[in-house]
Structure 1
Amino acid sequence: MILPACREVYVKVVSAVLLTLISVQGYANTVEDVRIDGLVQMPSSRAFDVIGFNDRESYNAGKVYQAINALFNTGYFSDIDVFKDNDILVFNVVERPSIGNLTIEGNELIKTEDLQRGLTLSGLEIGEIYKPETLNQIVQELQRQYYALGRYSAKVDISVEPMPRNRTAIAIDIDEGDTAKIVHINIVGNKDFDLETLTKDFDSRETGYWNPFSSADEYAKEKLEGDINKLKSFYLDNGYLDFSVVSSQVSLSADKRDVYVVINVSEGEPYQIGSLALNGSLPISEDRVWKQITQKKGDVFSRSQVTKIIEDISTELGDDGYLFTNVNVIPEKLDDQTVNLSYQIAPGPKVYVRRIIFSGNRETQDEVLRREMTQFEGTLATHSKIQASKRRIERLGFFSRVDLRTRPVNGTTDQVDIEVVVEEQASGSIQASIGYSEESGTVLGFGISKRNFLGTGNKLSFNASRTNQSQNYAISYDNPYFTVDGVSRGFEMFYKTSDHASDDVEDYDLDEIGAGVNFGYPISDTQRLSFGVTVKETTVQLGFDPSNETKSYINTQGDNYDDIIGSISWSDNDLIGGVLPTEGYSTRATLEVALPAGDQQYSKLSLTSQKYWNLNDSNLWLFRLKGRLGYGKSYGDTEAFPFFENYFAGGSYSVRGYGASSLGPKNSYDAGSTNTSSALGGNILMTGTAELIFPLPMVEDHKSVRTAVFIDGGSVFTDYCLAGNTECNQGIQLDEIRYSAGLSWTWITPIAPLSFNFSRPLNAKSGDKTDLFQFQLGTTF
């Protein structure tokens, strides 16, 4: 790229003009008129303002020089000629071309919009005057940005082509090159800790560190700076108050592909705590503050512990209304490697809430948010109530982000406004789907599910689906605030029909129709106690060759049942994150009893619990445990537990890698039957799952996509086997628990949830049905 030598032209032109003026007339002359020829881009009024000449004004060579210099400084002109035409002073200018076209190619790491924004700030955009001197600066800045990303072989070429009508076309061609790899990281000067200990939390890794989804061995300046900060924090958390990073060097190989990092440190010696003191005005008892100070004399100094203590003291005073407490620690280092810590506390005045403002809730009504607030307007502002309010709103599951901000009220020192800023996420769907499930075959469905119906916080759900074996229709409505005290009320109506002739259960048809109502009562912020009653009719129609277990139940209990089922459940839910939680736990225990007023008498006790652990505070690396237990038992005139109320295990929702509902005891048939035994189910259920959830590097939206490796385990058992059934053992047989491991991938699509499971059974036995690949589309509502 060759840039015009503008300054050389400028000097020649100015020198020639001055020599002419001096040789022709060495004294001041009077301007009768001034004319500027050649203007196209610059308005004439601005050009006259720049040169500063007026009619009948005297001039000399110096003043002409100043005018030429001022015109050149505008950046509009590539050539200026000044001459006298009779009594008129003429400035003949040649304007630089404007930018008629600007293209950027070859960039992937840095978005085109970001590059264009930077070019605009430099004055390089279509319609602006082309200034060649800025191109070198742009090339250097782009290369600097790529160097910071570890792309030391990146190249930036800029070509300039003339266009008609005094315009020019600029093309920026970027070769981003390859990211330089970190070949070696070394720390020099460390005596008390080895290299492995110091670098174990580094984001930067040497080439050879195996992780198929990681770019840890790719050098980036920001990443190395973050690692150096981690190194400083490590030493400060271990008492090394005199620690310092002397220097850090990054060396490149000749081909700019290998990076060598050397960090020189001075460790110093560790300090222990000598004495602790409280200073300042304490509006609460000292005992409450000292309870927050977990350090004691003789402990090794830790900056992270000091930071936590400062936060805890601020929280303690914040619970008494002192939201703007200022807590500092003053360390005094002594020669004997001890440090005295003095906590300085300035509480400020008590603060009251003037107003609570909601923003970002375009769909959700303010009332839905306001009723979750435990901090009220006009009351003393307390830290715990503000944080509890935030947590309650997060638990609604309607929002992907919730921030609570306190803003001082202008003109006062004791009032704040609380602004609740939310970012809404999808809380339901309307879908008409045609899908396929490995377990259920073709799936036809239509449904409306809205957990935040019309922004009221109420839940409405209608679902109609049909598979090869079943048809399900259900409608439900739940109001979590039926009363202002948080008592909920819900209704449900359902109709289910299934034909098990073609699946792994056995040959019978089952129809259920019913309706129910339930009420829930809040016990605490996370716990509820619910009561419900469901009335349903169940009809069983036996197929051509049913199992002995099915026939036995029908013979004693009949094939049509009108039941009244009472239920009581306790739940404790503190999950955060909506459809794909990122932290918290949930536990639900439910007891269902078919009351004596109905045709059957039985009970079912179920327990489901799960918990998420955030492994690195990023909401991307998570560990999850989930377990489910169930037990059913008949009583009264019902001799055996209803076979159609049995629990089943195996498949996508319990133990992946095994066929749906295929685990546990098997049924039996008469000697002349051609049927083979299939899963009977059982009145005892035990399943569990452990998952490590991790991010995929090519995925940007981790709020709707989740990948995990898992281990599943479980089965079903029975405490009642029909006489003569050799494939049924009574009671829990631990050696019959099946295990599997695999990889799962879930995507919450705009149409319906999509899940894939790749799993391998770990202890399958002869006769088990295995299923290495399972997926569902549109089956979760």
Structure 2
Amino acid sequence: MTRLPSRRLLALALATALAPALPATAQTAIPSATDPFAAPAAPQPAMAPAPDAFTVSDIRVDGLQRIAAGTVFTYLPIERGDTVDRARAGEAVRALYATGFFEDVQIGRQGDILVVTVTERPAINTLTLTGNKDIKTEDLQTGLNEIGLTEGNTFDRLALDRVTQELTRQYNNRGKYNVEITPTVSRLDRNRVDITIAIDEGDAAKIRHINLIGNETYGQEEILEGWESAESNWLSWYRRDDQYSREKLSGDLEKLNSYYLDRGYVDFSIDSTQVAISPDKQDMFITAGVTEGEKYTVSDVQVSGDTVLPKEQIERLVLVKPDQTFSRRLLEVSSDSIIATLGNVGYAFAQVNPIPDVNREDKTVAINMQVVPGPRVNVRRIVFKGNSRTSDEVLRREMRQFEGAWYSQAAIDRSKIRLQGLGYFESVDVESQPVAGTNDQVDVVYNVTETTSGSFVFGVGFSQLTGLTTQIQLSQNNFLGSGNRISVQAQRNDYLQRYDFSFINPYFTDSGVSLGYNLWWREFDNSDFNTARYSSTSGAAQTVLGIPITETDTITALFGIDSNEIFAFRGSTPESIVDYIDAIGQRTFHAWRGEVGWARNTLNNALTPTAGTYQRVWLESTLPGSTVEYFKLNYNFSKFWPLSRHFVLNTRAELGYGDSYGDAVVRNICFTAGSVQDTDGDEDTPPVFVPGPDPTEPCETSSPDYIETVTADGLPFFENFYAGGTRSVRGFTDNTLGPREPAISGSSFTQPVGGSLKTVGSLEMYFPTLLDTPAARVSAFVDFGNVYDGVDNFDAGELRASTGVALMWRSPMGPISISYAYPFKKEEGDDIERLQFTFGGQF
């Protein structure tokens, strides 16, 4: 897609179009009876035309309405006592016309009084633009403001006509030849006007055929593969590559020239280019005639000039070698490598001039890489613009280029990536500005556009099931512009109470060591979360430490204490969970918890990455002395592949495994209350004992009705992994994939219990150019995964999979994700939820 011109370029184009319009108007701008802006002439005494010469005793100005007489006297090149002839009168007329304030100027005399009669141009009351989509209104208004066609200024019809012509040309350059621009001027009282510019853009002309003539070595399809212009195809609705644009065609012709020069055709030329349009201005036909010439090879490569660094080091950067086919692209890459290398040691304005010596008889090219380093440059100041909320200190601590140090392009680029990685900014642009009066100093300016870095949620609801529900959540990744991250959440209803607080200071020390704290307390019924039916009351206090070891690698450590009290009941909760609690012999689980992890982050943007990798592996374990001793090993991986400016592929994987590291706990449970039931009425099948709700211990008591041996081994049920939902396998209800168990043997109603092994993956294609905003992304995805009860039970055939589309929007209130998925690999009994919506969290 063709990129629209910036506001400044558009303003410059409009201003250029208006540049020629000035004094010639003085001879033609004579009001007529049909001119709607011609002011009615006020009765005046008879006025004689100016004679050849007379001395001015006084000056009178007639016809003024809004403009003060002093303004006229300022521009009038005649004063009292001057001698005026026809030449001086003509000079005065031209001077007043040049101000742009008047439609008509006449010079006369009444006796010795010089009479200046003017007709003022009207003032612009309102200026309205309608119908424009291809060029944004703010861009058009900025351009019009800079040339003076704006509200409150004097109206110039000639300027309006020229603007109309320029806008037509701009749209024609975008392939829209049916554009209609209709300016309407409405006259108001007090010599004012309202201007409306109605734009009917029409449809862009589509390219129906592209024809290359003279290409014998390479086929047309191969040559046109990298063009932005293309014949209409099934992807044109998205790429818009079939819409003709003069700018796109110019770029494509340059690509055509580069295509042959990169393959050794030094004498290649484009002989002619023809663009034809159908009578209805809807179809375009492009024809280009070319001469290929012959292929050249490289005979010799030399490096000359002041290389600054050892010449051998610079020569290693040159990719062009003797006897290779000549390639301009390799020359450009070699030049850029040398420039970047010198730029990293302070030579910000280094240049490399490849000088070719063409031998047309031998079909060879000798190349001399002339290095011109220029002065070594020092960075005087680093300036940040656009950070209205974020303090300078937060940005400055991410800098790898320092003030007073030698200029380094690598350090400047790395600093930009670190700023993008904060997640506080929509965009980050950097430019180096030479310091006036010196040739060895620059200021590095980072222009940032801030975005929402947090979310706020408040809600009140009521239902017969949960009663009154209140929730408030505040999450801020850039608290008060300090860079600290804070999150507070409170939620309460008849079945849930939850209070969370977390705080992280990413720069607890100047070296980048982070320190954070987590506090939370929850009391809820797990059945509300699509997991096994049991209730719990839990709380924890944790300290988190992060230590950077490289620019992209970080080690994290966590230590905390937590308590989890479980309430489970036979007949309502799956038996394996109840048996586990019975085997432990208590329903409250205390733990000393530790965690250590490693992460590498090379993403180019924290909010909407298009390249780079993020991976993290961490081990979580309870320490000896905890009620249950177990560990969990997790690995997350995500890599973004920029396939083109239209497509970015994200490959994602999540793996998790957990188990106990202590001895299994075996316990006999004796029941004294229960009943014996015949489950199927078959005399050959023995009756089954159904235990009562409460076990009685010890077993030495009088004749228990039933004795059951229970075991607590492996990962505790409340630490199991779950899959399904918006953040794992979309299209399946949250937490419902994996093992399921009934509360009563033989029951058809089962509950998800999770598992100790989790495998989830995803392939997601993002379309960066589909929406004209970096705050929103559209994607198509394929998700797959499942949860298993241990490694031994892993079965790839049990993986679930879905495909669909998703919209992610970073709204002012927090991130929102909407997805619609079709599960194409599922089993009977899976809980399907095709349309899913989440508010909050990250994506």
TM-score by structure 2 length? 0.80
* Alpha-carbon distance in structure 2 between the residues aligned to 1:435 and 1:285: 73
Q: Does 1:555 align with 2:582?
A: yes
Q: Which residue of 2 aligns with 1:298?
A: 323
Q: Which segment drifts farther, 216-225 or 205-214?
A: 205-214
Give the superposition deviation at 1:130: 5.3
Name the CA shift for 1:470/1:572 in 2 (closer, same or farther; >3 Å): farther
Match for residue 534 of structure 2 among 502, 508, 511: 508
Give the superposition deviation at 1:597: 1.0
Report the residue type matching 2:759 in the other structure.
M
SS of structure 2 residue aligned to 1:284: coil
* Alpha-carbon distance in structure 2 between the residues aligned to 1:283 and 1:445: 64
Q: Which segment drifts farther, 736-745 or 71-80?
A: 71-80
Q: Does 1:606 align with 2:634?
A: yes
Match for residue 819 of structure 2 among 747, 757, 772: 757
Q: Which segment drifts farther, 282-291 or 573-582?
A: 573-582
* Alpha-carbon distance in structure 2 between the residues aligned to 1:395 and 1:376: 19
* Alpha-carbon distance in structure 1 between the residues aligned to 2:197 and 2:733: 58
* Alpha-carbon distance in structure 2 between the residues aligned to 1:44 and 1:266: 68
Q: Which residue of 1 aligns with 2:706?
A: none
Q: Does 1:570 align with 2:641?
A: no
Give the superposition deviation at 1:735: 0.8
Q: Which residue of 1 aligns with 2:692?
A: none
Q: Which residue of 2 aligns with 1:680?
A: 753
Q: Does 1:317 align with 2:342?
A: yes
What per-residue deviation string (whole Å, max 9, x for no partner) do you get for residues 700-741 of structure 1?
Answer: 322x21211111111111239xxxxxxxxx421111111111
Match for residue 833 of structure 2 among 746, 771, 779: 771
Name the CA shift for 1:60/1:475 in 2 (closer, same or farther; >3 Å): closer
Q: Which residue of 2 aligns with 1:457?
A: 483
Aligned residue runs from structure 1 range 643-662, under 5 A = 643-662=717-736
* Alpha-carbon distance in structure 2 between the residues aligned to 1:26 and 1:164: 34
Q: Which residue of 2 aligns with 1:712?
A: 783
Q: Which segment drifts farther, 250-259 or 360-369?
A: 360-369
What per-residue deviation string (whole Å, max 9, x for no partner) do you get for residues 184-208 of structure 1?
Answer: 2222232222221222222223234
What per-residue deviation string (whole Å, max 9, x for no partner) do you get for residues 384-422 of structure 1?
Answer: 434333333333333333345444555655555444443
Give the superposition deviation at 1:266: 2.9
Report the residue type matching 1:589 in the other structure.
V
Give the superposition deviation at 1:221: 2.3
Q: Which residue of 1 aligns with 2:678?
A: none
Q: Does 1:95 align with 2:119?
A: yes
Contact (CA 8 Å) 2:455, 2:815: kept in 1 or not?
Answer: no
Q: Which segment drifts farther, 89-98 or 520-529?
A: 89-98
What per-residue deviation string (whole Å, max 9, x for no partner) do you get for residues 133-182 of structure 1?
Answer: 55543443332223223222223344556555555665544433332222
Match for residue 525 of structure 2 among 473, 491, 499: 499
SS of structure 1 residue aligned to 2:226: coil
Q: Which residue of 1 aligns with 2:6?
A: none
Q: Which segment drifts farther, 485-494 or 585-594?
A: 485-494
SS of structure 2 residue aligned to 1:644: helix
* Alpha-carbon distance in structure 2 between the residues aligned to 1:626 and 1:669: 35
Name the CA shift for 1:157/1:749 in 2 (closer, same or farther; >3 Å): closer
Contact (CA 8 Å) 1:28, 1:58: kept in 2 or not?
Answer: no
Q: Which residue of 2 aligns with 1:19?
A: none
Aligned residue runs from structure 1 range 368-407, under 5 A = 368-407=394-433
Q: Which segment drifts farther, 707-716 or 144-153?
A: 144-153
* Alpha-carbon distance in structure 1 between the residues aligned to 2:803 and 2:638: 18
Q: Which residue of 2 aligns with 1:723?
A: none
Contact (CA 8 Å) 1:561, 1:600: kept in 2 or not?
Answer: yes
Contact (CA 8 Å) 2:761, 2:785: kept in 1 or not?
Answer: yes
Q: Does 1:615 align with 2:643?
A: yes
Q: How many percent of aligned residue pairs carry the same amino acid?
A: 34
* Alpha-carbon distance in structure 2 between the residues aligned to 1:580 and 1:141: 36
Name the CA shift for 1:171/1:632 in 2 (closer, same or farther; >3 Å): closer
Name the CA shift for 1:145/1:356 in 2 (closer, same or farther; >3 Å): closer
Contact (CA 8 Å) 2:305, 2:370: kept in 1 or not?
Answer: yes
* Alpha-carbon distance in structure 2 between the residues aligned to 1:538 and 1:83: 101
Give the superposition deviation at 1:608: 0.8
Contact (CA 8 Å) 1:648, 1:681: kept in 2 or not?
Answer: yes
Give the superposition deviation at 1:563: 1.4
Q: Which segment drifts farther, 495-504 or 333-342?
A: 495-504
* Alpha-carbon distance in structure 1 between the residues aligned to 2:737 and 2:610: 31
SS of structure 1 residue aligned to 2:167: helix
* Alpha-carbon distance in structure 1 between the residues aligned to 2:442 and 2:728: 50
Contact (CA 8 Å) 1:162, 1:168: kept in 2 or not?
Answer: yes
Match for residue 803 of structure 2 among 741, 750, 756: 741
Name the CA shift for 1:313/1:52 in 2 (closer, same or farther; >3 Å): closer
Give the superposition deviation at 1:424: 2.9
* Alpha-carbon distance in structure 2 between the residues aligned to 1:281 and 1:421: 34
Report the residue type matching 2:772 in the other structure.
E
SS of structure 1 residue aligned to 2:417: helix
Give the superposition deviation at 1:47: 5.5
Q: Which segment drifts farther, 760-769 or 401-410?
A: 401-410
Report the residue type matching 1:585 in the other structure.
T
Contact (CA 8 Å) 2:185, 2:195: kept in 1 or not?
Answer: yes
Q: Which segment drifts farther, 231-240 or 60-69?
A: 60-69
Give the superposition deviation at 1:442: 11
Name the CA shift for 1:550/1:374 in 2 (closer, same or farther; >3 Å): same
* Alpha-carbon distance in structure 1 between the residues aligned to 2:294 and 2:469: 69
TM-score by structure 1 length? 0.86
SS of structure 2 residue aligned to 1:762: strand
SS of structure 2 residue aligned to 1:741: strand
Aligned residue runs from structure 1 range 102-501, under 5 A = 103-104=127-128, 106-109=130-133, 110-116=135-141, 118=143, 124=149, 131-134=156-159, 136-159=161-184, 163-164=188-189, 171-335=196-360, 336-409=362-435, 414-433=440-459, 445-465=471-491, 471-501=497-527
Give the superposition deviation at 1:647: 0.9
Q: Which residue of 1 aligns with 2:45?
A: none
Report the residue type matching 1:764 in the other structure.
K
Name the CA shift for 1:269/1:497 in 2 (closer, same or farther; >3 Å): farther
Contact (CA 8 Å) 1:600, 1:637: kept in 2 or not?
Answer: no
